[in-house]
Structure 1
């Protein structure tokens, strides 16, 4: 991991951009994070619209997490931003645009082509990032995952034992394999669903939530479209991570 820039935000949060094997990322740590008191880590879901474009929104989420004592980190999605293109994903996205412009249904084969290569690339990168981030003296576990792409979050929650809890953003284009994997996910889950999300298949989101095997899982469904997430939804997610990531002091 190579840090390329650093700045101090107004509330004392330390924001550092880094590269890891050529993958851009950002790490936010609260002022309270020290080698003697390392902060638990929340891995923010890779932003589909690109890291630089989503940076203000990610930083805002990280600042709220820092106020609760958590470090946060985000990576650039494969094939996004300045990262090399992934031809198979570009072809699938072009087919998706053609399908939607023609008013045709998006079939399961196209969903698999759009999402599964992304999951196969992104999850090993997330695990490598955890190796590097948790080696920093001011960052420690337990680790949470927060955000989308939901298929990436499901796979990571299944295969990565350091993920202690996951807050997932419900979304469409869920591959059939993701439903199969969800039936083996057992970590605590908090799923956010915008009920009237114009780009989301609500029933598919409900079916995926039902598939999770986690003994503790909650669905936070709010009225409104994709950009209408109410502030109290963030408060509920913060409470979820506080319950599962903060270590109880020794008695």
Structure 2
């Protein structure tokens, strides 16, 4: 892991950009150490510095004392997109504009993303846990499809918070039955791009005995800010 920039923010949080092989990322750490760690994943084509993600990360570090890390997934943010990625995005835009079904396009795009991103998260986790300012335990907050696989294969993940707004492939909906860690699931009731019943069925499928569903009125990007605090308190019960 090589740190490429460093700045102390006005809330006391230390923000550092890093690279790990081809993986670019950002690490936010509080003044106290060693700190428990939250891996913060983003949905869709978002960037590791997307404004909502950065706001959540800084709040979690400054107000609750977590170390928070985000990386750009393959084909996202600062990372190059392959011809296959670009074609999938073009097919998706065309199908949505025409009002055609998009599930098969999402399947062809999300499944390879999960297969590539999860090993990268595990490599990143190895490097982060070697830093003296990070002591674990570890939580994951973000994209559901990647989070399901991480929760199943990575024993160092102790708790997870998932956002219900992202597409979850069929195989991963089945894999959700193997998720046994404590779980907080956030659902926007009026999410224009998400099938509400599929999200509720997925929540029911999670195998953990400790799972909580928070549903709020509003569209895809309308998750209330108080859910950030609720999420941090959820992690406090399991990471501290």
Q: TM-score, normalised by structure 1?
A: 0.91
Give unmatched runs, 5+ long, in structure 2. none
Cross-structure match for 1:240: 234
Deviates more, 1:76-85 or 1:5-14: 76-85
Q: How does 1:35-114 map to 2 (within 5 A)?
A: 38-51=34-47, 54=50, 56-66=51-61, 67-107=63-103, 109-114=104-109
- Cα distance in 2, alignment partners of residues 152 and 110 from structure 1: 17
Once the two structures are TM-superposed, the CA of residue 48 in structure 1 deviates from its matched residue by: 3.0
CA contact (8 A) 2:139 2:157 kept: yes
1:9 correspondence with 2:21 = no
CA contact (8 A) 2:5 2:17 kept: yes
**SS at 1:100's partner residue?**
helix
* 1:174-205 CA-partner distances (Å, limit 9, x unpaired): 21011111011101000111101112111111
1:221 correspondence with 2:206 = no
Cross-structure match for 2:114: 119
CA contact (8 A) 2:92 2:102 kept: yes
CA contact (8 A) 1:25 1:76 kept: yes
Once the two structures are TM-superposed, the CA of residue 172 in structure 1 deviates from its matched residue by: 4.0
CA contact (8 A) 1:89 1:113 kept: no
Give unmatched runs, 5+ long, in structure 1. 247-251
- Cα distance in 1, alignment partners of residues 170 and 83 from structure 2: 22
Q: TM-score, normalised by structure 2?
A: 0.95
Deviates more, 1:130-139 or 1:197-206: 197-206
Aligned residue pairs total 239
Q: How does 1:172-251 map to 2 (within 5 A)?
A: 172-246=166-240
- Coordinate RMSD, CA, aligned: 1.4
